[in-house]
Amino acid sequence: MAPSLKTKVASIPLETCVYNASGPRTGSAQALSRISASKAGAVLAKSATLASQTGNPLPRTWHHDAEESHASMNSEGLPNLGIEYYIKTETIDEAISDTGKPYFVSISGKNTDDNMKMLDMIYEKIKTGEARIAGVELNLACPNIIGKPIIAYDFEQMDSVLKSICAMPMFTEAKIPLGVKMPPYFDGPHYDRAAAVLNKYSDVVKYVASINTIGNCLAIDTVAEMPAIRSKGGFAGLSGRAVKYTALANVKKMRELLVDDIDVVGVGGVYTGEDAFEMILCGASAVQVGTCHWNEGPKCFDRICKELEDLMAKKGYSSIEDFKGKLKEWSKEGVAKSREVKAAKKKLAKDATATKASSGPSAQDQMLTALLILVIAVLLADKFDVISI
């Protein structure tokens, strides 16, 4: 029997612990339906604003040219179809069909009033019978809105925003779970202050998603000698494999500092089942996938889940609870074990190469050789005019 990837986020059951981050490929019901049809454990809609908007000028995205891109950037500026679209029954019908997967709405208002208006609209929809909105993710971490700072870097402002929002009937009476999308932190006191604010509202805030993109990075087009992205002077949010190590640190610190009532969802640089495993080992209850989904499409969820299952089976884990938050301290014994495994892998690769070399050319190599000889023969015959018709 395959290991179980089941988990809970904000007490909401998920069949698998891997699902999409709010970002590219999440802006329409059609795109969300493709996520729902995959092994993703939940469906998270694009971060919505009060009204629809087109976002920043193009080009606003960049990918490293390497075959396996280690870095991507975007300065999208939250293009989306507006909150009304993402809470419409018709949108949710198409987005999750009959899969029964949890459907989360993400909001990123231009100010607190906008966020509160959107929450009122969501609550009204829920009160009219749309019970499939499982929870709300409040984005306090977007670095790409021109003229707007990252809210969660201003701890007094973050406290004020959460104080207003967490007092709304949607949360105090209906107990709808609230998640908060967080920016990356890089210094110990910042982790402490952010966690202290979140812990104050643990009766409403039920998970944090760490991290959003690393803001205000810059990619250069050396041929044209200009920024690769048009808006904000080229400054944009960095994502992809390059941010995984910052994300792991944030997941670990948040899990250490937050009260148990607040789950941590790891996001940032997840491309493989091993990446997901590392996030969970650091304390994540689930993992969101953003840039890999952007580049690969929804099939990434099937692949990552399978790779995670295989890794768990190899290690003898039957569920993610077996290793969640159980990152071990550094030890000489651990180093020795790791070196032993690496040496064994290296030997297997060397033996495979030697076996291939000793077995002579493969059937494919022989076929290519024969084809090459035939082509040369035809060319020579044509040159010396020995082919007759």
**Could you list the active site residues?**
142
Spatial distance between the Cα atoms of 353 and 140, rounded to a whole number of angstroms:
51
HEC assignment per residue over the chain: CCCECCEEECCEEECCCEEECCCCCCCCHHHHHHHHCCCCCCEEEEEECCCCECCCCCCCEEECCCCCCCCEEECCCCCECCHHHHHCHHHHHHHHCCCCCCEEEEECCCCHHHHHHHHHHHHHHHHCCCCCEEEEEEECCCCCCCCCCCHHHCHHHHHHHHHHHHCCHHHHCCCCCEEEEECCCCCHHHHHHHHHHHHHCCCCEEEEEECCCEEEEECEECCCCEECCCHHHHEEEEECHHHHHHHHHHHHHHHHHCCCCCEEEEECCCCCHHHHHHHHHCCCCEEEECHHHHHHCCHHHHHHHHHHHHHHHHHCCCEHHHCCCCCCCCCHHHHHHHHHHHHHHHHHHHHHHHHHHHCCCCHHHHHHHHHHHHHHHHHHHHHCCCCCC
Q: What number of other Cβ atoms are within 10 A of residue 174's Cβ?
A: 11
The answer to whether the CB of 77 falls within 8 A of the CB of 234 is no
Angle subtended at Cα 118 by Cα 107 and Cα 260, rounded to the nearest 5 degrees = 55
Report how far apart, in Å, the C-alpha atoms of 3 and of each of 16, 286, 309 are: 11, 15, 6
How far is residue 212's CA from residue 113's CA, in Å, rounded to a whole number? 23
Please state, as a whole number, how many other Cβ atoms lie within 10 Å of the Cβ of residue 4: 17
Structure tokens at 215: 């803001």
